[in-house]
Amino acid sequence: MQLLKDKIRTDAKIVENRIIQVDNFLNHQLDITLFNEIGKEFKRRFSSKEVTKIVTIETSGIAIACIAAQYFNNVPVVFAKKHAGLNMNQDVYEAKVYSYTKDQEYTIKISKEFLCPNDKVLIIDDFLASGSALMGLISLLSQSGAEISGAGIVIEKTFQEGRKLIQEKGIQLESLAIIDSIRDGQVFFK
């Protein structure tokens, strides 16, 4: 997706040839016009799939998933919680996820009432790197018996192992910008 790649080239901050900081448009300040283009592109790539629900994970995934849902007949969005409040229903599906950007392990949760075997779920998230968050979501969905229609990712770091893990599950994986390498503070796309 050219618009996204251009945005990464002009606006991302590269730290230590390893970290792509996109706080300017994706993770802290959110570019709603870009998110609409992202939503349209997900629809195009998953146009052959039935989608009854979009599932994502706190925090940045939520914004992208909500805008994208508008291109999938306004299907409901359910987000896995990393920081469940005291009021949360205790009858949940849960999985462990390790966050490298926070150096912390989370238990992610979705209330059982919001996933059922009839659901055909599109997973959406901002980043794919190690694949830990995505594998956690896939575990929650498998526990519920819901069908997985696909996984849509905004930015993938293909030099980490995430893609392999997802594809081994036979899931259609679509990443809108695939980063092949980072050298001398510059991003190279696949």
Residues found near its own copies in the complex (CB under 8 A) = 15, 19, 21, 23-24, 28-33, 35-36, 58-59, 62-63, 66-67, 69-70, 74-79, 81-83, 85-89, 99, 101-103, 110-111, 113-114
In terms of CB distance, is 32 or 168 closer to its own copies? 32
Per the structure block, which two tokens stand in for 17?
């040839």
Q: In the bound complex, what is the minimum distance in angstroms from residue 86's beta carbon to its own copies?
A: 6
Q: In the bound complex, what is the minimum distance in angstroms from residue 32's beta carbon to its own copies?
A: 4
**Per-residue b or e along 70-101, where b marks 16 or more CB atoms closer than 10 Å to that residue's CB:** ebbeebebbbbbbebeeeeeeebbbbebeeee
In terms of CB distance, is 24 or 130 closer to its own copies? 24
Q: In the bound complex, what is the minimum distance in angstroms from residue 168's beta carbon to its own copies?
A: 28
Q: How far is CA 9 from CA 41, 161, 189, 190, in A?
A: 19, 23, 10, 14
Three-state DSSP state, 148: strand
Q: Identify the sign of the CA torsion 151, 64, 88, 134.
A: positive
In terms of CB distance, is 109 or 163 closer to its own copies? 109
Q: In the bound complex, what is the minimum distance in angstroms from residue 47's beta carbon to its own copies?
A: 19
